Structure 1
Amino acid sequence: MRGPVPTLRDVAERAGVSPTTVSRVINASGFVSREARAAIRQAIDELGYVPSASARGLASRHTAMVGLCLPVVDADTDLADRSDRRPPPRVPGLPGAETVPVVVDTDPEAIISWGGMYFGEVVRGAEFAAWEAGLAITVAMTRAPDLEARVLNMAGRVDGMVVVSGTLPDDLLEHVARRVPVVILTGLGPESAHDRVTVRNAEGVERLVEHLLTDHGITSLEYVAAPEGTPDDEERFRGFCRALTRAGIEAPAAPRLRGDWERGRGREIARGLVDGLGRGGTLPGALVCCNDNTALGLLDVFAAHGVRVPEDVVVTGFDGVEAARTSAPPLTTVEQPMAELGRAAVEVLTARIAAPARRAATTSLPVTVVLRGSCGAHPPVGVDGRAGEDPA
């Protein structure tokens, strides 16, 4: 059995100093003589003492932790269903069949969620920025029904939080913001009372549509939107409309086609378009999608039904996920710096923690239009119109 957990007082007694002196060494605050410091370090090693982060937080009002609050995507909600399923049938007669199952893939169209690819990069950037600042990251997924309890529990354990726009109800967000500094990742407007880190959504789509209009001569374009009320998507649609209006083409009042950020819904939209062809309908010259996963779903179905991209219809995305480079054809997209979003959000948060009274600000990161085979071109073009560096 394990013995009692050593305490700070145990370390003080072993080193022959006061608990306050031990606390100064652990928290790197105040003067401690070299001899006393060495005795405390030796006592910590001998006892196997591990400082309590919560106790240190109570004393210093800092925990050296920042929270990252992410939404739950559709693919995550499927995990509970899959955990209840029986193991798939084994292929008999193969060596090791009793210990290592060999199965036939019964769902070859299963896809990795947008959230897994996009937010994985955001978390990677956030963790790196926290590490540079000597902090640690804790992540919470906004799951019902205990959303409020989960989020408030995190707020009580961290020095500040990065919250993805739209993941928390407004009243809960403001409640959290009264306890700790909050940075909003994407979404909201420049008049927000909170710091905001986003990308140049509207400018990116506007530059992409200008390329399709000017360099390809396409005048029939349709925007494939995200769920209604999504701030980033609204900005992207605004850029789409702005480019059409500047070219003298009437912009739609609202998108006709809506996805849900996921590849599966993109496939459903494409099937509807293909069915329309069978009834004498036509395709627009270009489908400008709210994100890469939606566009990849379109490519899946178009390829299966003989709709040629880009000859019959141009398809574009937004994000710059790795799968966009290896699709058939490779996907033209607006590439955003996903890891840099996470990194910048944590850097803004640490600045806010250090100066809580300063005015809220918006940090807007650049994007790049990357031209590939799905529009019939290849060199990447920056938002400012200059040729960018080919990511390949």
Structure 2
Amino acid sequence: MTSVLALHNRELLGTRGAGDRARAAATLRDVAGLAGVSVSTVSRVVSGTGYVAADTRRLVESAIEKLGYVPSGAARGLVARRTGMLGLCLPDMAPTADLLAPTRTGSGVEVITDDATAPDGSSWGGLYFGEVIRGAEYAAWQAGYALTVVVARPPQAEARIRDLAGRVDGLIVVAGTLPDKLLEHVTHRLPAVLVAGARPAGGYDHVGVENARGVQALVEHLVRTHGIHDVRYVAGHANSPDDSDRFRGFRAAMHAVALPTPREPALRGDFSRATGRRLARRLVADHRRGGVPLPGALVCVNDETALGFLDVFNAEGIDVPGDVVLTGFDGIDGGRTSSPRLTTVEQPMTDLGRLAVEILRACLADPKLPRQSIHVPVRVLLRESCGTH
């Protein structure tokens, strides 16, 4: 009698080219045989647990790459060939040192008058990612799926992603989270959707926002409506696709209004409010001690960075927008309640997660669907921090 697994593999082979046959059939035992090691050794490499010598690990990883092995969750649902799970991969931007610091214990209440010296670890974009997760989780719940979230944190990032890929029916990956080679590897078995950034070169579905156009419209407003010529861009991580898109929009705007077009951002942070504060303190110190003029306007890569600048400017008596115009990107709640309220480019963050799930559902229903790239519109919200009431 033909086994369910054999039927499952036969169907997989029938929907893929001959070059994918080894990938569809590869097992843990196949990897062990090719690498010349035990199955338990391969299991330790794949799971990222236990000690494996560096040379042995390289042999196993090479065998995994050659065979295209992905830990399979099919054994938990061979008949339906579905696990009922979707995966969401986020980049590692966590303040590891702060997360691992011991929690203070004891009794009593501490009263402080200023938290300027408190630990100021960098945020990992929790507000943005939280909204993406919320949209994805709700859409998955509506469709009868559960959502598993994994942070790609070294040194076990690849092992965790491979393990996740074997336990879910589809994968949502925030752009810049995984190397292209690893993403291509895991998507031999399941569909994947990239969230944010520009349209990927690989054969993946994509959901993003109009980053460049949003920033371009904002900068042109600052120059043409408010007459500001000294406009500077505050960047995020250098490897962020969203940051690259937004800086491209900044450069396009400066060119369009016939102002000098910078090759590099004026300042670079990490998307966090804490780092925004540090950059602002340095800017104010240079201004007061060295006589360096304040910029006419700062266009920040995101709202959290801009709010960090605003924290320091308010504390140091720098008037916004009188002395410096300040803007952000995202449209988080903090910008609606800040003083002054923050001018920003609002993106529909929850829609990114929701649309990614909807695309995965369509791909699972029909694997032959053509790949698509959706760019969601943004809105420029003019508020008091740029002088518009």
TM-score between both structures, scaled by the size of structure 1: 0.76
The one-letter amino acid of 1:364's match is: H
The one-letter amino acid of 1:294's match is: T
Residue 255 of structure 2: aligned partner: 245
Residue 67 of structure 1: aligned partner: 87
Q: Which runs of 4+ in 1 moved over 6 A?
A: none
Residue 53 of structure 2: aligned partner: none
CA positional deviation for 1:55: 5.5
Residues 1:286 and 2:311 aligned together: no
Residue 158 of structure 1: aligned partner: 168
Counterparts of 2:306 and 2:202 in 1: how far apart (Å)?
31
Q: What stretches of structure 1 of length at least 5 have no aligned partner?
A: 1-19, 21-52, 92-101, 379-392
CA positional deviation for 1:104: 3.6
Once the two structures are overlaid, the 10-residue window that deviates more, 69-78 or 314-323, is: 69-78
Query: Which of residues 282, 285, 303 is equivalent to 1:275?
Result: 285
CA positional deviation for 1:62: 1.0
- CA deviation profile, 1:41-74 (whole Å, cap 9, x unmatched): xxxxxxxxxxxx9765222211121111112323
Residues 1:225 and 2:242 aligned together: no
Q: What percent identity do the matched residue pairs reach?
A: 54
Q: Contact (CA 8 Å) 2:195, 2:208: kept in 1 or not?
A: yes
Residue 223 of structure 2: aligned partner: 213
Counterparts of 2:195 and 2:220 in 1: how far apart (Å)?
27
- CA deviation profile, 1:104-152 (whole Å, cap 9, x unmatched): 4684665893522111111110011112222121111112221112111
Residue 364 of structure 2: aligned partner: 353
Residue 381 of structure 1: aligned partner: none
Residue 305 of structure 1: aligned partner: 316
Residue 343 of structure 2: aligned partner: 332
Residue 127 of structure 1: aligned partner: 137
SS in 2 for 1:70: strand
Sort the Cα spacing of 1:190 and 1:156 in 2 relative to 1 into closer, same or farther, 3 A: closer
Residue 30 of structure 1: aligned partner: none
Counterparts of 2:250 and 2:374 in 1: how far apart (Å)?
22
The one-letter amino acid of 2:381's match is: V
The one-letter amino acid of 1:242's match is: A
TM-score between both structures, scaled by the size of structure 2: 0.76
Q: Contact (CA 8 Å) 2:211, 2:249: kept in 1 or not?
A: yes
Residue 117 of structure 1: aligned partner: 127
Residue 9 of structure 1: aligned partner: none
CA RMSD of aligned residues (A): 2.1
Q: What stretches of structure 2 of length at least 5 have no aligned partner?
A: 5-72
CA positional deviation for 1:86: 3.8
Sort the Cα spacing of 1:127 and 1:207 in 2 relative to 1 into closer, same or farther, 3 A: same
Residue 46 of structure 2: aligned partner: none
Q: Contact (CA 8 Å) 2:140, 2:147: kept in 1 or not?
A: yes
CA positional deviation for 1:260: 0.5
Counterparts of 1:141 and 1:178 in 2: how far apart (Å)?
21
CA positional deviation for 1:246: 0.9
CA positional deviation for 1:85: 3.6
CA positional deviation for 1:251: 0.8
